[in-house]
Amino acid sequence: MKKSALVIINPSSGKEKATEYEELIRETIQDTYSEITVKHTEGEGDAIRFAKEAAENNYDFVISLGGDGTVNETVNGLAPFSNPPKLGIIPMGTVNDLARSLNIPMKHEDAIKLLDSGTETKIDIGMINNETYFTNILGIGRAAKAIHNVDSEEKSKIGPLAYLKVIGKEIMDERLFPIKFEMEESTWKGDVSVVLISLIDSLGGVKTIVNDVDNGDGNFHIFAFKHLNLIELAKMTPSVVMGNLKESENVHYFKTRQVSITTSASETQESDIDGEQGPNLPFDLKVLPQHITIMSN
């Protein structure tokens, strides 16, 4: 039986070297996939459309070459389907959180080898308002909002430091905002500086920060920071180093499968989804457990 694969390439990723790996990918998977289609993104939404068309046409495998944004778009094209194609990731971005969480090598040639020899791993997907999907981290608050405003040229020059730079500017002018979590288990409300909602154990390209998260356990892991300023960051350093953020006195921690999140009517709070701009509050979140299969290490 013939198998088909779609390769989605973001030409601007990997310091604009992504297209150089097209032939190596063909050589790696051609014995398994007799039909291989390659498409290059040219703008926002292209990877969503390409992945959706692949699922509609019963492709067996979709491969994403790019950063977290390209992977997020690819997932948003696949996630609406009950039995989406298997996903392969060649990490070529600045942070590559999902790839790191799944132990996919950062060396491109090694990641490509996994397309044929890797292990199939099912991952949870987060769904927002029954229409938008994410795989990594959802952030709320000014520090989180700043992440999707990072200049792409600066990301290419200084890598993850570009994110620290913009977050640093925000925490110098900390502002708290009211938030309410209505979960299956309980309801909580209070004033916070930033909220991180995680599905994986990698944050900002570092796996040790959120060891509390058990990948694929069917839950959102919510970290609501009471304060995010230089003094509190210094106090939190031991928790960050040990990977147990939920033990910090500066963090309210919750674990849930679904949650409705609201703020006061006078507040406008944006969100960041996997490094890209997300919807404003209020919204509803639900976990789709083990919904997509990814080739991992």
Dist CA 127 CA 109 (whole Å)? 32
Dist CA 118 CA 294 (whole Å)? 9
User: Element (H or E) spanning 191, and its range?
Assistant: strand 187-192
The residue whose two tokens read 């997932």 is 75
10-residue mean pLDDT series, the chain (297 residues): 94 78 96 96 96 98 94 97 98 88 94 96 96 93 63 52 52 80 96 90 58 76 84 68 74 95 90 88 97 95
Point out the residues that are catalytic: 276
For the stretch 145-157, what's the b/e string if a residue is b when 16 or more beta carbons lie within 10 angstroms of its beta carbon? bbbbebeeeebee
Closest CA to 51 of 135, 148, 159: 135
- φ and ψ of 10, to 5 deg: -95, 105
Please report the pLDDT score of residue 177 as a whole number.
93
The residue whose two tokens read 């791993």 is 121
Please report the pLDDT score of residue 267 as a whole number.
82
Dist CA 92 CA 16 (whole Å)? 9
The CA-CA-CA angle for residues 120, 215, 146, to 5°, reads: 115
> Residue 258 contacts by C-beta under 8 Å, 6 or more apart in sequence?
183, 184, 220, 284, 285, 286, 287
Write down all domains in the chain, each with its CATH number in brackets.
4-117 (3.40.50.10330), 134-289 (2.60.200.40)
Dist CA 273 CA 288 (whole Å)? 16
Closest CA to 289 of 181, 216, 182, 238: 216
Alpha helices by DSSP H, listed for 57-178, are 68-78, 97-101, 108-117, 142-147, 152-158, 161-171
How far CA 74 is from CA of 20, 50, 113, 171, 243, in Å, comes to 20, 8, 20, 32, 29
**DSSP-assigned beta bridge partners for residue 278:** none
Amino acid at 28: T
Closest CA to 224 of 191, 256, 200, 201: 191
Please report the pLDDT score of residue 74 as a whole number.
98
Dist CA 176 CA 170 (whole Å)? 12
Look up the pTM and report it: 0.86
Pairing of strands 276-277, 187-192: unpaired
For the stretch 183-202, what's the b/e string if a residue is b when 16 or more beta carbons lie within 10 angstroms of its beta carbon? beeeeeeeebbbbbbbbbbb
| DSSP class of 114 | H
Q: Which two tokens stand for residue 221?
A: 């892991």
